Protein backbone atom coordinates (compact mmCIF):
# COMPACT_ATOMS: atom_id res chain seq x y z
CA UNK A 1 0.00 0.00 0.00
CA UNK A 2 1.35 3.37 -1.00
CA UNK A 3 0.72 6.54 0.98
CA UNK A 4 0.73 10.01 -0.50
CA UNK A 5 0.13 13.10 1.61
CA UNK A 6 -0.22 16.46 -0.08
CA UNK A 7 -1.41 19.45 1.95
CA UNK A 8 -4.64 18.22 3.56
CA UNK A 9 -5.19 15.23 1.31
CA UNK A 10 -4.40 11.57 1.97
CA UNK A 11 -4.20 9.02 -0.85
CA UNK A 12 -3.81 5.29 -0.30
CA UNK A 13 -3.10 3.11 -3.33
CA UNK A 14 -3.59 -0.61 -2.95
CA UNK A 15 -2.21 -3.56 -4.89
CA UNK A 16 -4.39 -6.44 -6.08
CA UNK A 17 -3.44 -8.55 -3.04
CA UNK A 18 -4.26 -5.72 -0.64
CA UNK A 19 -7.63 -5.08 -2.30
CA UNK A 20 -8.44 -8.79 -1.86
CA UNK A 21 -7.57 -8.55 1.85
CA UNK A 22 -9.82 -5.51 2.26
CA UNK A 23 -12.57 -7.42 0.42
CA UNK A 24 -12.24 -10.21 3.02
CA UNK A 25 -12.73 -7.62 5.78
CA UNK A 26 -9.07 -7.63 6.84
CA UNK A 27 -6.99 -4.54 7.60
CA UNK A 28 -3.88 -3.66 5.62
CA UNK A 29 -0.92 -1.99 7.35
CA UNK A 30 2.46 -0.70 6.18
CA UNK A 31 5.35 0.55 8.29
CA UNK A 32 8.07 3.09 7.58
CA UNK A 33 11.30 2.48 9.49
CA UNK A 34 14.10 5.02 9.72
CA UNK A 35 17.64 4.58 10.94
CA UNK A 36 18.23 1.51 13.07
CA UNK A 37 14.80 0.00 12.51
CA UNK A 38 13.09 2.70 14.56
CA UNK A 39 9.45 2.83 13.58
CA UNK A 40 8.73 6.30 12.20
CA UNK A 41 5.13 5.88 11.06
CA UNK A 42 2.62 3.14 10.42
CA UNK A 43 -0.45 3.54 8.25
CA UNK A 44 -3.47 1.29 8.01
CA UNK A 45 -6.68 0.89 6.04
CA UNK A 46 -9.31 -0.68 8.26
CA UNK A 47 -12.72 -1.97 7.12
CA UNK A 48 -15.12 -1.44 10.03
CA UNK A 49 -18.79 -2.33 10.42
CA UNK A 50 -19.42 0.52 12.89
CA UNK A 51 -17.82 3.31 10.84
CA UNK A 52 -20.50 5.47 9.17
CA UNK A 53 -18.14 7.16 6.67
CA UNK A 54 -14.51 7.05 5.57
CA UNK A 55 -12.40 8.78 8.20
CA UNK A 56 -8.73 9.28 9.05
CA UNK A 57 -7.22 9.54 12.53
CA UNK A 58 -3.66 9.90 13.78
CA UNK A 59 -2.80 8.06 17.02
CA UNK A 60 0.79 8.24 18.26
CA UNK A 61 2.81 7.30 15.19
CA UNK A 62 -0.01 5.58 13.28
CA UNK A 63 -2.34 6.96 10.64
CA UNK A 64 -5.54 4.90 10.62
CA UNK A 65 -8.03 5.23 7.78
CA UNK A 66 -11.37 3.61 8.53
CA UNK A 67 -13.85 2.68 5.82
CA UNK A 68 -17.39 1.28 6.22
CA UNK A 69 -17.18 -2.46 5.58
CA UNK A 70 -20.11 -2.50 3.16
CA UNK A 71 -18.43 0.24 1.11
CA UNK A 72 -15.05 -1.54 1.07
CA UNK A 73 -16.70 -4.88 0.20
CA UNK A 74 -18.48 -3.34 -2.79
CA UNK A 75 -15.35 -1.47 -3.92
CA UNK A 76 -13.08 -4.52 -3.66
CA UNK A 77 -15.45 -6.68 -5.70
CA UNK A 78 -16.09 -4.16 -8.47
CA UNK A 79 -14.33 -2.33 -11.30
CA UNK A 80 -14.65 0.90 -9.30
CA UNK A 81 -11.22 2.49 -8.87
CA UNK A 82 -11.66 5.08 -6.11
CA UNK A 83 -13.38 5.57 -2.79
CA UNK A 84 -13.48 9.30 -1.96
CA UNK A 85 -14.52 11.25 1.11
CA UNK A 86 -14.14 14.83 2.33
CA UNK A 87 -13.59 14.68 6.09
CA UNK A 88 -14.63 17.70 8.19
CA UNK A 89 -16.39 19.21 5.17
CA UNK A 90 -16.99 22.90 5.71
CA UNK A 91 -14.50 23.14 8.59
CA UNK A 92 -11.27 25.10 8.46
CA UNK A 93 -9.21 21.91 8.15
CA UNK A 94 -10.92 19.72 5.58
CA UNK A 95 -9.21 16.49 4.58
CA UNK A 96 -9.67 14.80 1.23
CA UNK A 97 -9.30 11.03 1.62
CA UNK A 98 -8.79 8.93 -1.53
CA UNK A 99 -8.49 5.15 -1.52
CA UNK A 100 -7.53 3.79 -4.93
CA UNK A 101 -6.60 0.64 -6.75
CA UNK A 102 -2.97 1.02 -7.83
CA UNK A 103 -2.42 0.75 -11.59
CA UNK A 104 0.84 -0.07 -13.32
CA UNK A 105 2.57 3.04 -14.61
CA UNK A 106 2.62 3.64 -18.36
CA UNK A 107 6.34 4.40 -18.12
CA UNK A 108 8.28 1.78 -16.20
CA UNK A 109 10.30 2.90 -13.19
CA UNK A 110 13.47 0.86 -12.67
CA UNK A 111 13.26 0.81 -8.86
CA UNK A 112 9.59 -0.06 -8.52
CA UNK A 113 8.01 -3.52 -8.48
CA UNK A 114 4.57 -3.27 -10.08
CA UNK A 115 3.97 -7.01 -10.46
CA UNK A 116 0.98 -6.87 -8.06
CA UNK A 117 -0.45 -3.60 -9.41
CA UNK A 118 -3.62 -3.60 -11.48
CA UNK A 119 -3.09 -3.58 -15.26
CA UNK A 120 -3.35 -0.02 -16.53
CA UNK A 121 -6.42 0.28 -18.78
CA UNK A 122 -4.71 3.00 -20.82
CA UNK A 123 -1.87 0.65 -21.74
CA UNK A 124 -4.43 -1.80 -23.21
CA UNK A 125 -5.98 1.04 -25.24
CA UNK A 126 -2.56 2.05 -26.51
CA UNK A 127 -1.75 -1.57 -27.33
CA UNK A 128 -5.06 -2.07 -29.17
CA UNK A 129 -4.60 1.18 -31.09
CA UNK A 130 -1.19 -0.02 -32.31
CA UNK A 131 -2.55 -3.25 -33.84
**Local mean pLDDT, 10-residue blocks, the chain (131 residues):** 94 94 96 86 97 95 97 94 91 92 67 64 48 28
Q: What is the pLDDT of residue 91?
A: 84
Tell me the pairing of strands 9-14 and 2-6: antiparallel
> Residue 5 is inside which H or E element, if any?
strand 2-6
Strand order in the sheet with 82-87: 2-6, 9-14, 95-101, 82-87
Q: What is the pTM of this model?
A: 0.80
SS3 state of residue 84: strand
Domain boundaries, the chain: 2-130
Amino acid sequence: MKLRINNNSIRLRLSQTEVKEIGKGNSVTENLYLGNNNLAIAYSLIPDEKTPAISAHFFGNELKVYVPKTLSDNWAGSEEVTMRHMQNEGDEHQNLILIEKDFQCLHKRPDEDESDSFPNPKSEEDYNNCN
